[in-house]
Amino acid sequence: TAQLEAEITEFFVDYIDTSNESWTSVEALERRRTMFADTCDACRYGYDLAARAHDEGLRFEGDLGFVVQVRLDSFEGDIVRFSGFTSTPQARLVSANGTVVTEFPRTDNLQVVYQAQRQASGQWILVDSEVLG
């Protein structure tokens, strides 16, 4: 289990880093999309918001979120359930004329329970998420 937890931690840190970069990079946005399935509602919502930022020329203002902890909760076959704890400073999306389009409140140690599935290629993808707070 230590090896699996290390693997999931590496994947989740990469996912958060890619998500952060996707606010300013179309390449990162495209990569972000390959890291989750359509069944992961929270993943899809964040991706859609970043895609909207690119489409509408919105600018992300604020510091980026980071992983505090990853905890492996259970695993069976190619499915892993883990808790990702992240913190994010307050941030916002702003239009070219300075209008605040979306505000992101500060979060401290936000717990989200994810399910990830190992693909035939060996890569992980997020298939479900639930925000616990």
Spell out where 1-133 has E strands. 59-62, 66-76, 79-88, 91-94, 100-104, 107-118, 124-131
Sign of torsion over alpha carbons 31, 109, 65, 1: negative
pLDDT per residue as tens digits for the range 15-63: 999 999 999 999 999 999 999 999 999 999 999 999 999 999 999 999 9
Q: What is the pTM of this model?
A: 0.94
pLDDT value for 57: 96
In this structure, are residues 89 and 62 in contact, taking their beta carbons and an 8 Å threshold?
Answer: yes
Place of tokens 């289990």: 1
pLDDT value for 133: 67
pLDDT per residue as tens digits for the range 55-111: 999 999 999 999 999 999 999 999 999 999 999 999 999 999 999 999 999 999 999
